[in-house]
Amino acid sequence: MTTYRTVSIDGLDIFYREAGSRDNPTILLLHGFPTSSHMFRNLIPALADKFHLVAPDYPGYGNSSMPTVNEFDYTFDNLAEIVEKFIAAINLKKYSLYVMDYGAPIGYRIAAKYPERVQSLIVQNGNAYEEGLREFWEPIKAYWHERSPENAEKLKYLFTLEATKWQYTNGVRNLEAISPDTWTVDQHFLDRPGNEEIQLALFYSYGTNPPLYPQWQEYFRQYQPPTLIVWGKNDYIFPADGAYPYQRDLKNVEFHLLDTGHFALEEDGDVIADHIHHFLSTHVVESTKLTTSNK
């Protein structure tokens, strides 16, 4: 059974979903923009028989607190710090990281800082390479270069219902397989007063991520976490160009391009769950048993 909990971190209520026995290997699920832990609502019960799953909402997203931009500095450094403190608050010692979209720069900050805690990576449309930032990113890059009202205005369409629906439907095989609950729920949270300013702050802060790519790539090369790539190849935001380079730096990588879009779990959730079951059973469960038996 999935439980719905809240923990206080630095005075903020951080909501999270949790399922599965803590005796099993943990998967920490880090969501993207503009969604929340809601994106994992089907994956969690699909894996809870063999794994312990935890999926938090970041500040400003989903059911977590939404302080204004004057009350909280919305940067990727700060989101990573909140997630780091969340990990400590609920006493996670070791875990696999499932990173998607915004979850990648948040998760990789934590993984590079605490490599000994990370048992494996599951990467779904989460970028760590310059090759992955293509046409979609040009107006956002302009905003990094000049944080002007004019450049901000060019990004505000991304907070509209039309754009949110597009994120879920662009590149999918079968539109009838995509629940309208997805964009309806996300849009509800995006439309809250003050949330537009939060999203613009994070669009600007995303510019701090590419300079860290070499550091994250060095983490991949040095620590070689077993990595499962499950990537919607028709994604316009994070195209497959950003998936291939992981194979340069990681030796133990299982690579799957899926014929779907940005939110690959919506159309290929069962496929991804099967890949995770097989991958973690081999690379985390068995290795944990072997380590335990050798003690």
Task: Please give the positions annotated as active site.
Answer: 262
The residues facing 232 across adjacent strands are 258
Q: What are phi and psi of 245, to 5 degrees?
A: -60, -20
Q: Which two tokens stand for residue 221?
A: 């090369």
Environment class of residue 251 by beta-carbon count within 10 Å: exposed (0-12), middle (13-18) or buried (19+)?
exposed
Helix, strand, coil percentages, rounded to 5, for the chain: 50, 15, 35
Which of these, 275, 295, 280, lies nearest to 118 by C-alpha position?
280
Cα 9 to its chain centre, rounded Å, is 20
Q: Which three-class secondary structure state does DSSP give residue 73?
A: coil
Which of these, 60, 50, 103, lies nearest to 80 by C-alpha position?
103
Which of these, 264, 222, 243, lies nearest to 111 by C-alpha position?
222
Q: What are phi and psi of 2, to 5 degrees?
A: -80, 135
